[in-house]
Structure 1
Amino acid sequence: MTINTPEKASILIVDDMEENLVALEAVLGSLDQQLVRAHSGEEALKAMLRQEFAVVLLDVLMPGMDGFETAANIKRLDQTKDVPIIFLTGTEADTDYLYRGYAIGAADFLTKPFDPWLLRTKVNVFLDLYRKNRQLAAQAEQLRRLLVGAPTPAAPVGPAGSVEPMGGARDSLSRARDAGAGASAGSGQQLAEITERLAQIELQLRDAEGAEAVGLADRIADLERTVRSLRAGRDAY
């Protein structure tokens, strides 16, 4: 299965200090991804509603809406709640910061001044996870399109050459019975089962990572092969 996914992901960097944004851009520039700036929590939320991000680097201490409040708002919205957040804190950060951040849903913390190699490494982890999830979602969508596009037996011809209306409410099994295709009925049932299994896999995509993501990809590939086999059998019929 060939899947086309965007070559570059977007990274949101949020800090009220211009010099900190410049430093982050200098460190992350070598990753060759799209870097989007935000000088405040309000700007960050607007940016996240405009486009999709693989990860957010969020300064904790900002005037107005601070990092914790910004993160809480991000996690509150269905559109953005699954985007991982890396908090950037000063050396004065203590265990209360960590507890509060992780309670909100932070994925990680980095203390300023941060090590450039460590920052790139942590960001790369989330970029890889983002790409895997995008690929899995694209595979699932392609399989769904394959299922929707599965051919059905021709409608039986009634008196005077009229075509019997099939009706949108009839499922694969009903159409197969109308055509007198016992084998097609079995195929329709299998397609229905595959559709249900696909829906279950899609529910797991959000939290999939590492070996689990690879396993889901293999399951989707198996389903695709089964669907193609069923389609070939129905076309032959």
Structure 2
Amino acid sequence: MSTHTPEKCSILIVDDIEANLVALEALLGPLHQELVRAHSGEEALKAMLRQEFAVVLLDVLMPGMDGFETAANIKRLDQTKDVPIILLTGTEVETDYAYRGYSVGAADFLTKPFDPWLLRTKICVFLDLFRKNRQLAAQAEQLRHLFAEARAVTALSGRTEAAEGTAQRREKGTPSPPAATERTEARLVEIGEQLTQIELLLREASGFDAVTLADRVAELERAVGGLRLGPE
């Protein structure tokens, strides 16, 4: 029996204290993901512009740019605004810390010391979401390519039909209606409607059904294949 190995993701851990970074690496080691360190908010922003992260663990109390300011800057950048942030802080916190964290766009707020099982469970949720979003993006790109291919096939069919019609008129002296082209164009409209329905499903669905999505993509592949073979 073959087993599927989940895609390895990158996790950014940000803390100005080396011992805290070592502790986080030990806690997250069992997840077997790529762990990237940053010792300041500025270093974290540079790292996020260099590579893609599934989630960021961000210490609140840091000199210079603190966790709140760093989180706000992450959310301002188009390239990083969708990356979930878990803010981390010690037991001595002000009463408004959680509110401030959520107001700058943090997805969660945890207080040290962490329960290892709880921390890993929360991170696994974001890792799973990251992988599913990557899969959705790949499927959406596949759909766009299929639709573009269908349009190209239709354009080629139209040119061929026009040339054949011209030859028929020359031979018979009578017009030949482009019925095949009309059928192809109608099929293209149908494919476009299917694509629109799938894109709406991807945007609005509360859950993720990879099997259903794969089936819908397969339907479009067959439809495009039918256009390649010619009108029925």
Instruction: Classify the TM-score, shorter chain.
Output: 0.7 to 0.9
> Hey, what's the Cα distance between the residues in 1 that align with 2:54 and 2:165?
59
Q: Is the partner of 1:95 in helix, strand or coil?
A: coil
- Most deviating of 222-231 and 7-16: 222-231
1:78, distance to aligned residue in structure 2 (A): 1.0
RMSD: 2.6
> Hey, what's the Cα distance between the residues in 1 that align with 2:87 and 2:24?
13
> Hey, what's the Cα distance between the residues in 2 that align with 1:35 and 1:15?
13
Tell me what 1:16 maps to: 16
1:218, distance to aligned residue in structure 2 (A): 5.4
- The answer to whether 1:221 aligns with 2:225 is no
Q: Is the partner of 2:207 in helix, strand or coil?
A: helix
1:122, distance to aligned residue in structure 2 (A): 1.0
* Structure number, greater radius of gyration: 2
1:195, distance to aligned residue in structure 2 (A): 3.5
TM-score, structure 2 normalization:
0.81
5 Å-filtered alignment, 1:115-154, equals: 115-150=115-150, 151-152=153-154, 153=157
**Retained in 2: the 8 A contact 1:12–1:35?**
yes
1:158, distance to aligned residue in structure 2 (A): 7.6
- The answer to whether 1:212 aligns with 2:207 is yes
> Hey, what's the Cα distance between the residues in 1 that align with 2:22 and 2:38?
12
Equivalent pairs: percent with the same residue?
A: 63
How many pairs align? Answer: 212
5 Å-filtered alignment, 1:52-131, equals: 52-131=52-131
- Most deviating of 17-26 and 114-123: 114-123
Unaligned 5+ residue runs, structure 2? 168-176
Q: Is the partner of 2:96 in helix, strand or coil?
A: helix
1:226, distance to aligned residue in structure 2 (A): 3.0
1:143, distance to aligned residue in structure 2 (A): 2.0
> Hey, what's the Cα distance between the residues in 2 that align with 1:224 and 1:179?
28
Unaligned 5+ residue runs, structure 1? 162-176
> Hey, what's the Cα distance between the residues in 2 that align with 1:222 and 1:8?
26
